[in-house]
Structure 1
Protein backbone atom coordinates (compact mmCIF):
# COMPACT_ATOMS: atom_id res chain seq x y z
CA UNK A 1 0.00 0.00 0.00
CA UNK A 2 2.76 2.38 0.92
CA UNK A 3 4.60 1.72 -2.36
CA UNK A 4 1.44 2.18 -4.40
CA UNK A 5 0.76 5.43 -2.58
CA UNK A 6 4.27 6.76 -3.35
CA UNK A 7 3.99 5.67 -7.00
CA UNK A 8 0.65 7.43 -7.40
CA UNK A 9 2.07 10.55 -5.81
CA UNK A 10 5.06 10.49 -8.16
CA UNK A 11 2.88 10.04 -11.22
CA UNK A 12 0.57 12.79 -10.05
CA UNK A 13 3.56 15.07 -9.50
CA UNK A 14 4.90 14.40 -12.98
CA UNK A 15 1.55 15.13 -14.56
CA UNK A 16 1.20 18.30 -12.52
CA UNK A 17 4.65 19.43 -13.62
CA UNK A 18 3.94 18.63 -17.27
CA UNK A 19 0.61 20.42 -16.96
CA UNK A 20 2.34 23.51 -15.60
CA UNK A 21 4.85 23.37 -18.47
CA UNK A 22 2.01 23.05 -20.96
CA UNK A 23 0.23 25.99 -19.39
CA UNK A 24 3.45 28.01 -19.49
CA UNK A 25 3.98 27.04 -23.13
CA UNK A 26 0.45 28.07 -24.05
CA UNK A 27 0.78 31.35 -22.18
CA UNK A 28 4.18 32.10 -23.76
CA UNK A 29 3.30 30.78 -27.22
CA UNK A 30 2.78 34.31 -28.63
CA UNK A 31 6.19 35.27 -27.28
CA UNK A 32 7.78 32.19 -28.87
CA UNK A 33 6.19 32.99 -32.21
CA UNK A 34 7.16 36.65 -31.97
CA UNK A 35 10.75 35.75 -30.97
CA UNK A 36 11.06 33.34 -33.92
CA UNK A 37 9.69 35.95 -36.32
CA UNK A 38 12.06 38.61 -34.94
CA UNK A 39 15.06 36.27 -35.29
CA UNK A 40 14.15 35.35 -38.89
CA UNK A 41 13.71 39.06 -39.70
CA UNK A 42 17.17 39.81 -38.30
CA UNK A 43 18.64 37.02 -40.46
CA UNK A 44 17.17 38.60 -43.59
CA UNK A 45 18.35 42.03 -42.45
CA UNK A 46 21.87 40.64 -41.95
CA UNK A 47 21.82 39.10 -45.43
CA UNK A 48 20.78 42.28 -47.22
CA UNK A 49 22.96 44.52 -45.03
CA UNK A 50 25.99 42.40 -45.97
CA UNK A 51 25.11 42.76 -49.67
CA UNK A 52 24.71 46.52 -49.25
CA UNK A 53 28.11 46.83 -47.53
CA UNK A 54 29.72 44.70 -50.25
CA UNK A 55 28.18 46.91 -52.95
CA UNK A 56 29.36 50.12 -51.28
CA UNK A 57 32.89 48.78 -50.85
CA UNK A 58 32.98 47.68 -54.50
CA UNK A 59 32.09 51.21 -55.57
CA UNK A 60 34.94 52.56 -53.45
CA UNK A 61 37.34 50.09 -55.06
CA UNK A 62 38.15 48.23 -51.84
CA UNK A 63 40.02 44.99 -52.28
CA UNK A 64 38.37 41.60 -51.91
CA UNK A 65 39.77 40.86 -48.45
CA UNK A 66 38.33 44.06 -46.96
CA UNK A 67 34.93 43.37 -48.50
CA UNK A 68 34.99 39.77 -47.29
CA UNK A 69 35.82 40.69 -43.71
CA UNK A 70 33.42 43.64 -43.55
CA UNK A 71 30.43 41.69 -44.85
CA UNK A 72 31.04 38.80 -42.45
CA UNK A 73 31.38 41.12 -39.46
CA UNK A 74 28.17 42.98 -40.36
CA UNK A 75 26.26 39.73 -40.80
CA UNK A 76 27.48 38.20 -37.53
CA UNK A 77 26.76 41.35 -35.49
CA UNK A 78 23.20 41.69 -36.80
CA UNK A 79 22.40 37.99 -36.27
CA UNK A 80 23.74 38.09 -32.70
CA UNK A 81 21.69 41.20 -32.03
CA UNK A 82 18.57 39.41 -33.27
CA UNK A 83 19.39 36.40 -31.07
CA UNK A 84 19.65 38.54 -27.96
CA UNK A 85 16.44 40.41 -28.79
CA UNK A 86 14.62 37.08 -29.22
CA UNK A 87 15.85 35.84 -25.84
CA UNK A 88 14.75 39.11 -24.25
CA UNK A 89 11.21 38.66 -25.61
CA UNK A 90 11.11 35.22 -23.97
CA UNK A 91 12.24 36.67 -20.62
CA UNK A 92 15.19 34.31 -20.62
CA UNK A 93 17.68 36.65 -18.97
CA UNK A 94 19.22 33.82 -16.94
CA UNK A 95 19.53 31.69 -20.06
CA UNK A 96 21.16 34.60 -21.83
CA UNK A 97 23.71 34.93 -19.03
CA UNK A 98 24.41 31.20 -19.16
CA UNK A 99 24.79 31.31 -22.94
CA UNK A 100 27.31 34.15 -22.72
CA UNK A 101 29.26 32.34 -19.99
CA UNK A 102 29.26 29.10 -21.97
CA UNK A 103 30.28 30.92 -25.12
CA UNK A 104 33.23 32.39 -23.25
CA UNK A 105 34.41 28.98 -22.10
CA UNK A 106 33.89 27.40 -25.52
CA UNK A 107 35.63 30.36 -27.18
CA UNK A 108 38.63 29.95 -24.87
CA UNK A 109 38.87 26.24 -25.63
CA UNK A 110 38.58 26.82 -29.37
CA UNK A 111 41.14 29.61 -29.19
CA UNK A 112 43.67 27.34 -27.47
CA UNK A 113 43.04 24.54 -29.98
CA UNK A 114 43.25 26.77 -33.04
CA UNK A 115 46.03 29.18 -32.14
CA UNK A 116 47.68 28.97 -35.56
CA UNK A 117 44.41 29.38 -37.45
CA UNK A 118 43.29 32.31 -35.32
CA UNK A 119 46.71 33.90 -35.69
CA UNK A 120 46.36 33.73 -39.48
CA UNK A 121 42.82 35.11 -39.25
CA UNK A 122 43.78 38.14 -37.18
CA UNK A 123 46.84 38.66 -39.37
CA UNK A 124 44.55 38.55 -42.40
CA UNK A 125 42.43 41.31 -40.87
CA UNK A 126 45.56 43.41 -40.35
CA UNK A 127 46.82 42.79 -43.89
CA UNK A 128 43.42 43.58 -45.41
CA UNK A 129 43.54 47.12 -44.08
CA UNK A 130 47.30 47.59 -44.51
CA UNK A 131 47.95 50.17 -47.24
CA UNK A 132 51.50 48.89 -47.79
CA UNK A 133 50.16 45.60 -49.20
CA UNK A 134 47.43 45.58 -51.85
CA UNK A 135 46.19 43.15 -54.48
CA UNK A 136 48.25 43.63 -57.65
CA UNK A 137 51.44 44.64 -55.81
CA UNK A 138 54.74 42.95 -56.62
CA UNK A 139 56.37 41.77 -53.39
CA UNK A 140 59.29 39.73 -52.11
CA UNK A 141 58.73 37.88 -48.84
CA UNK A 142 59.64 34.59 -47.16
CA UNK A 143 61.89 33.65 -50.08
CA UNK A 144 59.21 34.19 -52.74
CA UNK A 145 58.63 37.02 -55.22
CA UNK A 146 55.57 37.72 -57.31
CA UNK A 147 52.29 39.56 -57.77
CA UNK A 148 49.73 39.50 -54.96
CA UNK A 149 46.63 37.85 -56.43
CA UNK A 150 44.48 37.39 -53.32
CA UNK A 151 44.41 38.33 -49.63
CA UNK A 152 42.01 36.28 -47.50
CA UNK A 153 41.62 35.38 -43.84
CA UNK A 154 44.06 32.46 -44.08
CA UNK A 155 46.84 33.43 -46.48
CA UNK A 156 47.93 35.61 -49.34
CA UNK A 157 48.30 34.15 -52.82
CA UNK A 158 51.37 35.25 -54.79
CA UNK A 159 51.83 34.54 -58.50
CA UNK A 160 55.54 34.17 -59.24
CA UNK A 161 57.25 35.08 -62.49
CA UNK A 162 57.27 31.39 -63.53
CA UNK A 163 53.42 31.51 -63.45
CA UNK A 164 53.18 29.33 -60.32
CA UNK A 165 51.03 30.29 -57.33
CA UNK A 166 52.38 30.36 -53.78
CA UNK A 167 50.13 30.53 -50.71
CA UNK A 168 51.87 32.17 -47.74
CA UNK A 169 50.18 32.14 -44.29
CA UNK A 170 49.17 35.59 -43.13
CA UNK A 171 51.09 35.28 -39.87
CA UNK A 172 54.31 34.78 -41.85
CA UNK A 173 53.72 38.05 -43.70
CA UNK A 174 53.03 39.97 -40.49
CA UNK A 175 56.02 38.53 -38.63
CA UNK A 176 58.56 38.58 -41.47
CA UNK A 177 59.76 41.63 -43.45
CA UNK A 178 58.53 41.98 -47.01
CA UNK A 179 59.66 44.15 -49.90
CA UNK A 180 57.01 45.87 -52.02
CA UNK A 181 58.19 47.09 -55.43
CA UNK A 182 54.85 48.65 -56.38
CA UNK A 183 54.64 51.16 -53.52
CA UNK A 184 57.42 53.25 -55.10
CA UNK A 185 57.27 54.38 -58.73
CA UNK A 186 61.05 54.86 -59.05
CA UNK A 187 63.83 52.49 -58.06
CA UNK A 188 67.61 52.60 -58.19
CA UNK A 189 69.43 50.09 -60.38
CA UNK A 190 73.05 49.05 -59.82
CA UNK A 191 75.27 47.60 -62.55
CA UNK A 192 78.73 46.19 -61.80
CA UNK A 193 81.50 46.06 -64.39
CA UNK A 194 85.27 46.27 -64.78
CA UNK A 195 87.85 47.75 -67.16
CA UNK A 196 91.43 46.88 -67.95
CA UNK A 197 94.31 48.28 -65.94
CA UNK A 198 95.54 50.22 -68.96
CA UNK A 199 92.25 52.16 -69.29
CA UNK A 200 91.88 55.91 -68.71
CA UNK A 201 89.79 55.72 -65.56
CA UNK A 202 88.53 59.31 -65.69
CA UNK A 203 87.40 58.87 -69.30
CA UNK A 204 85.67 55.58 -68.41
CA UNK A 205 83.82 57.32 -65.60
CA UNK A 206 82.68 60.20 -67.83
CA UNK A 207 81.65 57.94 -70.72
CA UNK A 208 79.66 55.57 -68.52
CA UNK A 209 77.89 58.39 -66.70
CA UNK A 210 76.91 60.17 -69.91
CA UNK A 211 75.72 56.90 -71.47
CA UNK A 212 73.43 56.15 -68.53
CA UNK A 213 72.10 59.71 -68.43
CA UNK A 214 71.17 59.56 -72.12
CA UNK A 215 69.23 56.32 -71.72
CA UNK A 216 67.71 56.84 -68.25
CA UNK A 217 66.79 60.50 -67.70
CA UNK A 218 67.09 61.43 -64.04
CA UNK A 219 64.49 63.53 -62.25
CA UNK A 220 64.76 66.15 -59.52
CA UNK A 221 67.57 65.31 -57.14
CA UNK A 222 68.27 61.99 -58.87
CA UNK A 223 71.64 61.46 -60.52
CA UNK A 224 73.81 58.80 -62.08
CA UNK A 225 76.49 57.74 -59.61
CA UNK A 226 79.76 56.11 -60.69
CA UNK A 227 82.26 54.68 -58.20
CA UNK A 228 85.32 52.48 -58.55
CA UNK A 229 85.26 49.75 -55.95
CA UNK A 230 88.36 47.59 -56.08
CA UNK A 231 91.45 46.38 -57.90
CA UNK A 232 90.34 42.98 -59.18
CA UNK A 233 92.43 40.06 -60.38
CA UNK A 234 92.22 41.17 -64.02
CA UNK A 235 90.28 44.46 -63.94
CA UNK A 236 89.51 47.60 -62.00
CA UNK A 237 85.89 47.10 -60.94
CA UNK A 238 83.22 49.77 -60.62
CA UNK A 239 79.50 50.16 -59.94
CA UNK A 240 77.18 52.60 -61.69
CA UNK A 241 73.83 53.49 -60.09
CA UNK A 242 70.88 55.22 -61.72
CA UNK A 243 67.14 55.73 -61.21
CA UNK A 244 64.38 54.38 -63.44
CA UNK A 245 60.65 53.65 -63.45
CA UNK A 246 60.07 50.28 -61.81
CA UNK A 247 57.06 48.81 -60.03
CA UNK A 248 58.06 45.16 -60.21
CA UNK A 249 61.20 43.05 -60.36
CA UNK A 250 60.94 42.57 -64.13
CA UNK A 251 61.29 46.34 -64.67
CA UNK A 252 64.59 46.28 -62.78
CA UNK A 253 65.86 43.32 -64.82
CA UNK A 254 64.92 45.04 -68.10
CA UNK A 255 66.65 48.27 -67.02
CA UNK A 256 69.80 46.38 -66.06
CA UNK A 257 69.75 44.51 -69.38
CA UNK A 258 69.42 47.78 -71.30
CA UNK A 259 72.23 49.38 -69.30
CA UNK A 260 74.64 46.48 -69.86
CA UNK A 261 74.08 46.54 -73.63
CA UNK A 262 74.60 50.32 -73.75
CA UNK A 263 77.81 50.17 -71.68
CA UNK A 264 79.25 47.39 -73.84
CA UNK A 265 78.53 49.35 -77.05
CA UNK A 266 80.01 52.55 -75.65
CA UNK A 267 83.18 50.76 -74.52
CA UNK A 268 83.57 48.96 -77.88
CA UNK A 269 83.21 52.23 -79.80
CA UNK A 270 85.91 53.88 -77.68
CA UNK A 271 88.37 51.00 -77.49
CA UNK A 272 87.85 50.30 -73.79
CA UNK A 273 88.54 46.73 -72.84
CA UNK A 274 86.37 44.75 -70.42
CA UNK A 275 88.83 42.00 -69.45
CA UNK A 276 87.95 38.53 -68.32
CA UNK A 277 90.04 36.28 -66.07
CA UNK A 278 92.77 34.39 -67.94
CA UNK A 279 95.39 31.88 -66.87
CA UNK A 280 98.95 31.99 -68.25
CA UNK A 281 101.01 28.81 -68.34
CA UNK A 282 104.78 29.28 -68.32
CA UNK A 283 106.83 26.66 -70.18
CA UNK A 284 110.23 28.31 -69.69
CA UNK A 285 111.36 25.62 -67.24
CA UNK A 286 112.64 22.54 -69.03
CA UNK A 287 111.49 19.27 -67.66
CA UNK A 288 113.84 16.27 -67.73
CA UNK A 289 111.15 13.63 -67.55
CA UNK A 290 111.59 12.45 -71.15
CA UNK A 291 115.35 13.05 -71.36
CA UNK A 292 117.59 9.97 -71.26
CA UNK A 293 119.67 9.64 -68.16
CA UNK A 294 123.42 9.86 -68.57
CA UNK A 295 125.49 6.92 -67.41
CA UNK A 296 128.40 7.64 -65.10
Structure 2
Protein backbone atom coordinates (compact mmCIF):
# COMPACT_ATOMS: atom_id res chain seq x y z
CA UNK A 1 0.00 0.00 0.00
CA UNK A 2 2.84 2.36 0.92
CA UNK A 3 4.56 1.53 -2.34
CA UNK A 4 1.44 2.49 -4.34
CA UNK A 5 1.07 5.80 -2.49
CA UNK A 6 4.74 6.60 -3.06
CA UNK A 7 4.38 5.85 -6.80
CA UNK A 8 1.30 8.09 -7.05
CA UNK A 9 3.11 10.91 -5.27
CA UNK A 10 6.05 10.61 -7.63
CA UNK A 11 3.72 10.73 -10.68
CA UNK A 12 2.01 13.86 -9.36
CA UNK A 13 5.32 15.53 -8.68
CA UNK A 14 6.59 14.58 -12.14
CA UNK A 15 3.50 15.95 -13.84
CA UNK A 16 3.63 19.15 -11.80
CA UNK A 17 7.30 19.53 -12.73
CA UNK A 18 6.50 19.17 -16.42
CA UNK A 19 3.73 21.77 -16.17
CA UNK A 20 5.95 24.16 -14.26
CA UNK A 21 8.76 23.74 -16.76
CA UNK A 22 6.33 24.36 -19.61
CA UNK A 23 4.96 27.50 -17.96
CA UNK A 24 8.46 28.73 -17.31
CA UNK A 25 9.45 28.18 -20.94
CA UNK A 26 6.31 30.03 -22.05
CA UNK A 27 7.10 32.88 -19.70
CA UNK A 28 10.66 33.10 -20.99
CA UNK A 29 9.42 33.06 -24.57
CA UNK A 30 6.84 35.75 -23.72
CA UNK A 31 9.49 37.96 -22.14
CA UNK A 32 11.85 37.44 -25.05
CA UNK A 33 9.12 38.25 -27.58
CA UNK A 34 7.64 41.10 -25.60
CA UNK A 35 9.11 43.76 -27.93
CA UNK A 36 7.77 41.85 -30.94
CA UNK A 37 4.36 41.56 -29.28
CA UNK A 38 4.35 45.29 -28.71
CA UNK A 39 5.21 45.95 -32.35
CA UNK A 40 2.56 43.45 -33.54
CA UNK A 41 -0.07 45.03 -31.29
CA UNK A 42 0.89 48.48 -32.57
CA UNK A 43 0.62 47.23 -36.16
CA UNK A 44 -2.88 45.87 -35.50
CA UNK A 45 -4.03 49.13 -33.90
CA UNK A 46 -2.61 51.20 -36.72
CA UNK A 47 -4.17 48.92 -39.33
CA UNK A 48 -7.56 49.28 -37.61
CA UNK A 49 -7.50 53.06 -37.62
CA UNK A 50 -6.06 53.07 -41.13
CA UNK A 51 -8.90 50.84 -42.31
CA UNK A 52 -11.46 53.30 -40.91
CA UNK A 53 -9.72 56.15 -42.68
CA UNK A 54 -9.59 54.14 -45.90
CA UNK A 55 -13.30 53.29 -45.50
CA UNK A 56 -14.35 56.94 -45.19
CA UNK A 57 -12.08 58.09 -48.02
CA UNK A 58 -13.17 55.29 -50.35
CA UNK A 59 -16.83 55.92 -49.55
CA UNK A 60 -16.52 59.59 -50.50
CA UNK A 61 -14.77 58.72 -53.76
CA UNK A 62 -17.16 55.92 -54.73
CA UNK A 63 -20.37 57.78 -53.86
CA UNK A 64 -19.53 60.30 -56.57
CA UNK A 65 -19.47 57.51 -59.15
CA UNK A 66 -22.05 55.07 -57.76
CA UNK A 67 -25.47 56.46 -56.90
CA UNK A 68 -26.45 53.35 -54.95
CA UNK A 69 -25.16 53.96 -51.42
CA UNK A 70 -25.38 50.31 -50.35
CA UNK A 71 -23.02 49.30 -53.16
CA UNK A 72 -20.67 52.16 -52.32
CA UNK A 73 -20.56 50.99 -48.69
CA UNK A 74 -19.87 47.42 -49.78
CA UNK A 75 -16.90 48.48 -51.90
CA UNK A 76 -15.54 50.65 -49.08
CA UNK A 77 -15.94 47.81 -46.55
CA UNK A 78 -14.15 45.31 -48.79
CA UNK A 79 -11.17 47.65 -49.14
CA UNK A 80 -11.16 48.31 -45.37
CA UNK A 81 -11.17 44.57 -44.63
CA UNK A 82 -8.24 44.09 -47.00
CA UNK A 83 -6.30 46.73 -45.04
CA UNK A 84 -7.06 44.94 -41.73
CA UNK A 85 -5.98 41.57 -43.17
CA UNK A 86 -2.73 43.06 -44.40
CA UNK A 87 -2.13 44.42 -40.89
CA UNK A 88 -2.86 40.99 -39.39
CA UNK A 89 -0.43 39.22 -41.73
CA UNK A 90 2.22 41.84 -41.00
CA UNK A 91 1.74 41.38 -37.25
CA UNK A 92 2.07 37.61 -37.56
CA UNK A 93 5.23 37.99 -39.59
CA UNK A 94 6.69 40.25 -36.87
CA UNK A 95 6.06 37.42 -34.38
CA UNK A 96 7.80 34.95 -36.72
CA UNK A 97 4.60 32.94 -37.14
CA UNK A 98 5.12 32.03 -40.75
CA UNK A 99 3.36 28.68 -40.35
CA UNK A 100 0.32 30.44 -38.92
CA UNK A 101 0.19 32.75 -41.93
CA UNK A 102 0.30 29.76 -44.28
CA UNK A 103 -2.45 28.06 -42.29
CA UNK A 104 -4.61 31.18 -42.41
CA UNK A 105 -4.13 31.52 -46.15
CA UNK A 106 -4.96 27.84 -46.71
CA UNK A 107 -8.01 28.04 -44.49
CA UNK A 108 -9.17 31.23 -46.18
CA UNK A 109 -8.82 29.61 -49.59
CA UNK A 110 -10.79 26.51 -48.62
CA UNK A 111 -13.45 28.58 -46.84
CA UNK A 112 -13.74 30.85 -49.85
CA UNK A 113 -14.39 27.89 -52.16
CA UNK A 114 -17.01 26.39 -49.81
CA UNK A 115 -18.79 29.71 -49.27
CA UNK A 116 -18.67 30.50 -52.99
CA UNK A 117 -20.34 27.18 -53.87
CA UNK A 118 -22.98 27.54 -51.14
CA UNK A 119 -23.86 31.14 -52.02
CA UNK A 120 -23.38 30.97 -55.78
CA UNK A 121 -26.75 32.55 -56.62
CA UNK A 122 -26.47 35.25 -53.95
CA UNK A 123 -22.94 36.18 -54.95
CA UNK A 124 -23.95 36.26 -58.61
CA UNK A 125 -26.77 38.70 -57.85
CA UNK A 126 -24.46 40.79 -55.66
CA UNK A 127 -21.80 41.08 -58.34
CA UNK A 128 -24.51 41.88 -60.87
CA UNK A 129 -25.77 44.65 -58.57
CA UNK A 130 -22.30 46.17 -58.42
CA UNK A 131 -22.03 46.01 -62.22
CA UNK A 132 -25.46 47.63 -62.64
CA UNK A 133 -24.51 50.45 -60.28
CA UNK A 134 -21.53 51.35 -62.46
CA UNK A 135 -23.43 51.17 -65.75
CA UNK A 136 -24.33 54.56 -67.17
CA UNK A 137 -27.25 53.30 -69.25
CA UNK A 138 -29.44 52.56 -66.23
CA UNK A 139 -29.90 54.96 -63.32
CA UNK A 140 -32.37 55.65 -60.54
CA UNK A 141 -35.46 57.37 -61.91
CA UNK A 142 -35.09 55.88 -65.42
CA UNK A 143 -38.12 54.33 -67.07
CA UNK A 144 -37.09 50.90 -68.31
CA UNK A 145 -38.64 47.75 -69.73
CA UNK A 146 -37.11 44.33 -69.08
CA UNK A 147 -38.19 40.69 -68.57
CA UNK A 148 -41.78 41.64 -69.40
CA UNK A 149 -42.02 44.46 -66.83
CA UNK A 150 -41.97 48.20 -67.43
CA UNK A 151 -41.59 50.94 -64.84
CA UNK A 152 -39.44 53.50 -63.05
CA UNK A 153 -36.20 52.34 -61.42
CA UNK A 154 -36.70 53.02 -57.71
CA UNK A 155 -33.70 51.19 -56.25
CA UNK A 156 -30.64 49.20 -57.33
CA UNK A 157 -29.80 47.08 -54.30
CA UNK A 158 -27.01 44.54 -53.96
CA UNK A 159 -29.21 41.59 -54.93
CA UNK A 160 -32.19 43.03 -56.75
CA UNK A 161 -33.61 45.92 -58.78
CA UNK A 162 -36.90 47.59 -57.82
CA UNK A 163 -39.29 48.83 -60.52
CA UNK A 164 -42.42 50.90 -59.96
CA UNK A 165 -44.92 50.22 -62.75
CA UNK A 166 -47.42 52.69 -64.17
CA UNK A 167 -50.20 51.13 -62.06
CA UNK A 168 -48.12 51.80 -58.90
CA UNK A 169 -47.20 48.13 -58.43
CA UNK A 170 -43.69 47.35 -57.19
CA UNK A 171 -41.69 44.71 -59.06
CA UNK A 172 -38.50 43.22 -57.57
CA UNK A 173 -36.20 41.62 -60.15
CA UNK A 174 -32.92 39.77 -59.33
CA UNK A 175 -29.90 41.65 -60.67
CA UNK A 176 -28.61 38.54 -62.44
CA UNK A 177 -31.82 38.42 -64.50
CA UNK A 178 -31.37 42.05 -65.52
CA UNK A 179 -27.88 41.45 -66.89
CA UNK A 180 -28.87 38.27 -68.73
CA UNK A 181 -31.88 39.80 -70.54
CA UNK A 182 -32.35 42.75 -72.92
CA UNK A 183 -33.37 46.01 -71.29
CA UNK A 184 -35.07 48.99 -72.94
CA UNK A 185 -34.38 52.35 -71.29
CA UNK A 186 -36.86 55.01 -72.36
CA UNK A 187 -35.04 57.72 -70.39
CA UNK A 188 -31.86 57.64 -72.46
CA UNK A 189 -33.57 59.75 -75.11
CA UNK A 190 -35.73 62.83 -74.64
CA UNK A 191 -38.03 62.15 -77.63
CA UNK A 192 -40.46 59.33 -78.28
CA UNK A 193 -42.58 58.44 -81.30
CA UNK A 194 -46.36 58.10 -80.93
CA UNK A 195 -48.27 55.91 -83.39
CA UNK A 196 -52.05 56.07 -83.84
CA UNK A 197 -53.91 53.60 -86.05
CA UNK A 198 -57.46 54.27 -87.20
CA UNK A 199 -59.86 53.65 -90.09
CA UNK A 200 -62.44 55.66 -92.03
CA UNK A 201 -65.39 54.61 -94.17
CA UNK A 202 -64.97 53.83 -97.86
CA UNK A 203 -67.15 56.81 -98.75
CA UNK A 204 -64.73 59.27 -97.04
CA UNK A 205 -62.63 61.86 -98.85
CA UNK A 206 -59.15 60.48 -98.19
CA UNK A 207 -57.37 63.77 -98.88
CA UNK A 208 -59.64 65.53 -96.40
CA UNK A 209 -59.08 62.82 -93.78
CA UNK A 210 -55.31 63.16 -94.10
CA UNK A 211 -55.36 66.95 -93.86
CA UNK A 212 -57.71 66.99 -90.86
CA UNK A 213 -55.62 64.42 -89.01
CA UNK A 214 -52.37 66.31 -89.55
CA UNK A 215 -53.94 69.63 -88.50
CA UNK A 216 -55.43 68.14 -85.35
CA UNK A 217 -52.16 66.55 -84.23
CA UNK A 218 -50.11 69.67 -85.01
CA UNK A 219 -52.53 71.89 -83.06
CA UNK A 220 -52.76 69.49 -80.08
CA UNK A 221 -49.04 69.31 -79.26
CA UNK A 222 -46.83 72.35 -78.74
CA UNK A 223 -43.62 70.47 -79.62
CA UNK A 224 -44.91 69.80 -83.18
CA UNK A 225 -44.03 72.88 -85.21
CA UNK A 226 -46.12 72.18 -88.33
CA UNK A 227 -48.11 69.54 -90.18
CA UNK A 228 -44.95 68.57 -92.05
CA UNK A 229 -43.71 66.96 -88.82
CA UNK A 230 -46.74 64.64 -88.75
CA UNK A 231 -46.48 61.43 -90.77
CA UNK A 232 -49.66 60.01 -92.31
CA UNK A 233 -49.93 56.75 -94.30
CA UNK A 234 -52.87 54.71 -95.50
CA UNK A 235 -52.02 51.10 -94.73
CA UNK A 236 -54.76 48.79 -96.06
CA UNK A 237 -58.25 48.23 -97.37
CA UNK A 238 -59.88 46.71 -94.31
CA UNK A 239 -63.04 44.67 -94.02
CA UNK A 240 -65.17 47.72 -93.24
CA UNK A 241 -62.75 50.67 -93.42
CA UNK A 242 -59.69 52.12 -95.07
CA UNK A 243 -57.07 52.05 -92.33
CA UNK A 244 -54.30 54.57 -91.80
CA UNK A 245 -51.30 55.13 -89.54
CA UNK A 246 -50.37 58.50 -88.03
CA UNK A 247 -46.93 59.00 -86.47
CA UNK A 248 -45.37 61.96 -84.69
CA UNK A 249 -42.64 62.75 -82.15
CA UNK A 250 -43.12 64.22 -78.67
CA UNK A 251 -40.81 65.25 -75.83
CA UNK A 252 -41.07 62.36 -73.37
CA UNK A 253 -38.81 60.11 -71.31
CA UNK A 254 -41.17 57.30 -70.28
CA UNK A 255 -43.94 55.20 -71.78
CA UNK A 256 -46.55 56.78 -69.51
CA UNK A 257 -46.12 60.14 -71.24
CA UNK A 258 -46.29 58.31 -74.56
CA UNK A 259 -49.60 56.70 -73.57
CA UNK A 260 -51.02 60.05 -72.46
CA UNK A 261 -50.04 61.64 -75.79
CA UNK A 262 -51.59 58.75 -77.74
CA UNK A 263 -54.81 59.02 -75.73
CA UNK A 264 -54.98 62.76 -76.32
CA UNK A 265 -54.39 62.30 -80.06
CA UNK A 266 -57.15 59.68 -80.34
CA UNK A 267 -59.68 61.94 -78.60
CA UNK A 268 -58.79 64.94 -80.76
CA UNK A 269 -59.04 62.92 -83.99
CA UNK A 270 -62.40 61.49 -82.94
CA UNK A 271 -63.77 64.95 -82.16
CA UNK A 272 -62.52 66.38 -85.48
CA UNK A 273 -63.96 63.48 -87.51
CA UNK A 274 -67.33 63.78 -85.75
CA UNK A 275 -67.44 67.52 -86.46
CA UNK A 276 -66.74 66.98 -90.18
CA UNK A 277 -69.10 64.02 -90.47
CA UNK A 278 -66.33 61.52 -91.21
CA UNK A 279 -67.36 57.99 -90.31
CA UNK A 280 -65.10 55.71 -88.24
CA UNK A 281 -66.81 52.36 -88.94
CA UNK A 282 -66.77 49.35 -86.70
CA UNK A 283 -66.55 45.78 -88.10
CA UNK A 284 -69.88 44.68 -89.59
CA UNK A 285 -70.84 41.20 -90.79
CA UNK A 286 -73.80 41.01 -93.21
CA UNK A 287 -75.67 37.73 -93.67
CA UNK A 288 -77.63 37.60 -96.96
CA UNK A 289 -80.26 34.91 -97.63
CA UNK A 290 -81.73 34.80 -101.16
CA UNK A 291 -84.71 32.75 -102.42
CA UNK A 292 -82.48 29.99 -103.79
CA UNK A 293 -80.79 29.49 -100.44
CA UNK A 294 -84.14 29.26 -98.67
CA UNK A 295 -85.45 26.80 -101.32
CA UNK A 296 -82.41 24.53 -100.89
CA UNK A 297 -82.76 24.62 -97.13
CA UNK A 298 -86.45 23.57 -97.33
CA UNK A 299 -85.62 20.73 -99.74
CA UNK A 300 -82.94 19.40 -97.38
CA UNK A 301 -85.36 19.43 -94.48
CA UNK A 302 -87.99 17.52 -96.58
CA UNK A 303 -85.46 14.83 -97.47
CA UNK A 304 -84.46 14.45 -93.86
CA UNK A 305 -88.11 14.03 -92.90
Instruction: With the length of structure 2 as denominator, give the TM-score of the two structures.
Output: 0.81
- 1:59-138 aligned at under 5 Å gives the runs 62-138=67-143
- 1:235 aligns with one of 225, 235, 241: 241
Deviation at 1:7, TM superposition (A): 8.9
Moved more, 262-271 or 25-34: 25-34
- 2:47 aligns with one of 38, 42, 47: 42
Alignment of 1:183 with 2:162, yes or no, is: no
Q: Distance in 2 between matches of 1:249 and 1:40?
A: 55
Hey, which of these two has a bigger chunk of helix by percent? 2
- 1:139 aligns with one of 144, 160, 165: 144
Q: Distance in 2 between matches of 1:92 and 1:162?
A: 63
Change (3 A) 1:143 1:78: same
- 2:211 aligns with one of 203, 206, 220: 206
In 1, are the aligned partners of 2:71 and 2:158 still within 8 Å (CA)?
no
Q: Distance in 2 between matches of 1:20 and 1:26?
A: 10
* Aligned-residue CA RMSD (Å): 3.1
Q: Distance in 2 between matches of 1:111 and 1:60?
A: 28
Equivalent residue, structure 2, for 1:169: 174
- 1:246 aligns with one of 252, 266, 285: 252
Q: Distance in 1 between matches of 2:243 and 2:142?
A: 35
Moved more, 55-64 or 169-178: 55-64
Unaligned stretches of 5+ residues in structure 2 = none
Instruction: With the length of structure 1 as denominator, give the TM-score of the two structures.
Output: 0.83
Deviation at 1:235, TM superposition (A): 1.1
Count matched residues.
287
Equivalent residue, structure 2, for 1:265: 271
Moved more, 132-141 or 51-60: 51-60
Q: Secondary structure at the match of 1:182?
A: helix
Q: Distance in 1 between matches of 2:157 and 2:33?
A: 45
Unaligned stretches of 5+ residues in structure 1 = none
Deviation at 1:43, TM superposition (A): 2.2
Deviation at 1:12, TM superposition (A): 5.1
Change (3 A) 1:218 1:69: farther
Q: Secondary structure at the match of 1:198?
A: coil
Deviation at 1:167, TM superposition (A): 1.6
Q: Deviations over 1:231-273 (max 9, x none)?
A: 2221111221111111112111111011111211222233221
Pair member with larger Rg: 2
